[in-house]
Structure 1
């Protein structure tokens, strides 16, 4: 099958991905190595910047979001070398030593950058910070982190009573709290823990369900004192920590691997091996969901790299069946729901996704956008307040769709197009570069 089945065209500074599916169909074959985990990349840059001594990072995600994090912390005094996947070096400035920047800190499109960074900024007494982001980030809710920080004594101002960026922060000496989060969110938990680094005493976060634990793992590796109570989904950090720079090896991002796992499962005659994927148990909800759907996925070469479990994931095409995705599984796969919706389109029966209202305040309203764009292709998707109802088995037809400048939407629609008859054009496909700059090149390389 000619590689020209997938082409990328740039018009008016926007990329359009065109996927022409031949009548004879196509298959996917090969080995893929996905970019470094975005969540871990952010945290390595932040902790390296506020630790003492040198931190080295191998496998860093070279995407727009980590660039935003690096830019913000450079503006506050950290020495961070040019970002690249081979080796990034950081000369940390020490806990409590972030400098007052000379201009507004710009988090770009990165909610992780802005929300986690707020915990550090709020706990620097006597220093003033202003933070903003792009139009998408400025519309996303910040009250979920602003509220607990204010309970700790933070002074934060912003639009709609501090719930929207731009935000202004006057650093304060904060006090410890026990925060009962109404949502299971690693960003909320991490923000409070980072604020707690500078607080005398113990700061605790309790969640309704377990969210990803990359912050806890990395904070411990850098020298912070934490205790975890799995029975209550609580984590406690002891303040006045001494953080020491560390070597960090970033595993492949399972959220990026998810696109290939679904592609390999739904495209007939396919077999892919996705190498060096992080399989942290707080992130493997995608594997459990696909297993429920009957996907043929095997873990190979399991190992531990820099404290994070890693494996190669082999996927073969298989007949999928519908399932329900809800409850405590949702925090473990919230970012993967757009591509799981694509899997559900090709599963027999009706898949129900619920308890996922969080999707409405991501880079786009992912519930509304996935429903509208998949329906444009002929799928049967019903939008629900907190999720989707997807009746599978209806053939997709190629048409014009749009990413809504959301990286996960762009890549999910590209995978759906592999099984759509005719030609699919995805508008604003350049959004994929936020988390996976080489996604389309990798896709072209495995089409047979």
Structure 2
């Protein structure tokens, strides 16, 4: 099927329905990588079959693991206790999480690997990960521009380090911990602000001992090298970052009520839900339960009169991927929503602060951009624009949701990248009553 060059969202009547979010992207990457590092058969249920995760699946297969798709969201990884020398370049596509975690894992083995990605991934900084890994003993060669892909890594012979995070980044922490599995000594990562802890939780499920101790407002994570991983089943819950889109649409379209089932409720991932409630959102959670070592629940959103808020900067780590959709919902709120301390957004798949500001302004929304954030002042949303996304899936989806409630249609370019995190997004939104179609 040909991917359209543009998608257009038109004002919708009330959205209603019950849907399931796609599997969590962060956990899907980790399940594949840990399954490949382990010994034995890891059966994964609920794996996100988006382009980013499929790139990681191909990568771990290239590193010697058996990878088999058993059915929708059901995958089997057969690990042989570590990574082997791959035959060619490891192409991670658009997957920033995938490449950074794979570099950490590969650094622990005596292999030489070249990593590359698409044009977007080639623009993203890599020294934040290669720096700590080099301190552990990994060797890197930049094959083009320094700090950017492609690069060649030579691993093995690592020594543990004590690392203090300067930014709350689960990708950096995870890369260090995965390398630490095969390093001599005790690897420590200190986080002044906690980042998402899926790696720590999943390492424990695979049989590793991981220490997590409070350290001021953050914590200190320790891991002793030389621990083998043992295969284990993994159940991947629904991705709260993806669930945010249908829930946001329900909040801003009059008469709507939408439930997203089996959404992960890890407190390090639910900053958006907390912020929406502070804005006055009618957001409820039912059927709380445990799945895959994480709390999940069914989240229902109903149309709400929202009020702008100041988002605490220390909440950024728990919702860094959700600021684009927060900004879209803030456009319909009364008053200003202030988002600061989010400079990390500028080095995601795109400069998300700049693109959200430009897109919202093109739709008639008042936005003030700052180096480390932006402020959105809500009111009637005109729409009527074609938004440049630079191939960023979250920019595209956020503006399409905005278009479902704006006075005039909103069109986005390069929608093909939506498949990196949310395959089936358009079909799911249409099923709820949304009007999204090829332009």
One fold, TM greater than 0.5? yes
Name the structure 2 match of 1:116.
Answer: 101
Question: Residue 330 of structure 2 contacts residue 377 of structure 2 at CA under 8 Å; is this kept in 1?
Answer: yes
Matches within 5 A, 1:412-431: 412-431=398-417
RMSD, aligned CA: 1.5
Deviates more, 1:298-307 or 1:391-400: 391-400
Q: Unmatched 5+ residue regions in structure 1?
A: 1-8
Which residue of 219, 233, 241 maps to 2:227? 241
Question: Residue 366 of structure 1 contacts residue 409 of structure 1 at CA under 8 Å; is this kept in 2?
Answer: yes
Query: Is 1:231 aligned to 2:215, yes or no?
Result: yes
Question: What is the TM-score with the length of structure 2 in the denominator?
Answer: 0.96
CA shift for structure 1 position 86? 4.0
CA shift for structure 1 position 399? 2.2
Query: Is 1:217 aligned to 2:183, yes or no?
Result: no
SS of aligned partner of 1:230: strand
CA shift for structure 1 position 175? 0.7
Name the structure 1 match of 2:303.
Answer: 317
CA shift for structure 1 position 83? 6.9
Query: Is 1:145 aligned to 2:135, yes or no?
Result: no
Which residue of 170, 178, 184 maps to 1:186? 170
Question: Residue 378 of structure 1 contacts residue 395 of structure 1 at CA under 8 Å; is this kept in 2?
Answer: yes
Alignment deviations for residues 345-385 of structure 1 (CA, whole Å, 9 cap, x no partner): 11111111010000001111100000001111111111110
Matches within 5 A, 1:255-266: 255-266=241-252
Name the structure 1 match of 2:51.
Answer: 64
CA distance in 2 between counterparts of 1:427 and 1:118 reads 32
Alignment deviations for residues 132-154 of structure 1 (CA, whole Å, 9 cap, x no partner): 00011011000111111111121
Matches within 5 A, 1:2-41: 14-21=4-11, 26-41=13-28
Report the CA distance shift for 1:261/1:229 in structure 2 as closer, same or farther (over 3 A). Answer: same
CA shift for structure 1 position 262? 1.4
Matches within 5 A, 1:17-416: 17-21=7-11, 26-82=13-69, 84-94=71-81, 97-125=82-110, 127-158=111-142, 162-232=146-216, 233-416=219-402
Question: Residue 346 of structure 2 contacts residue 352 of structure 2 at CA under 8 Å; is this kept in 1?
Answer: yes
CA shift for structure 1 position 120? 1.5
Q: Unmatched 5+ residue regions in structure 2?
A: 435-439
Alignment deviations for residues 213-241 of structure 1 (CA, whole Å, 9 cap, x no partner): 00000000001111001234211111111
Name the structure 2 match of 1:445.
Answer: 431
Alignment deviations for residues 309-360 of structure 1 (CA, whole Å, 9 cap, x no partner): 0000011111100111132200000000000001111111111101000000
Question: Residue 113 of structure 2 contacts residue 154 of structure 2 at CA under 8 Å; is this kept in 1?
Answer: yes
Question: Residue 17 of structure 1 contacts residue 426 of structure 1 at CA under 8 Å; is this kept in 2?
Answer: yes
Question: What is the TM-score with the length of structure 1 in the denominator?
Answer: 0.94
Q: Which runs of 4+ in 1 moved over 6 A?
A: none
CA distance in 2 between counterparts of 1:336 and 1:211 reads 15
SS of aligned partner of 2:280: coil
Report the CA distance shift for 1:403/1:161 in structure 2 as closer, same or farther (over 3 A). Answer: closer
Report the CA distance shift for 1:270/1:223 in structure 2 as closer, same or farther (over 3 A). Answer: same
CA distance in 2 between counterparts of 1:30 and 1:284 reads 22
CA distance in 1 between counterparts of 2:107 and 2:430 reads 45
CA distance in 1 between counterparts of 2:45 and 2:309 reads 38
CA shift for structure 1 position 160? 7.2
CA shift for structure 1 position 159? 5.3
CA distance in 1 between counterparts of 2:138 and 2:411 reads 47
Deviates more, 1:277-286 or 1:390-399: 390-399
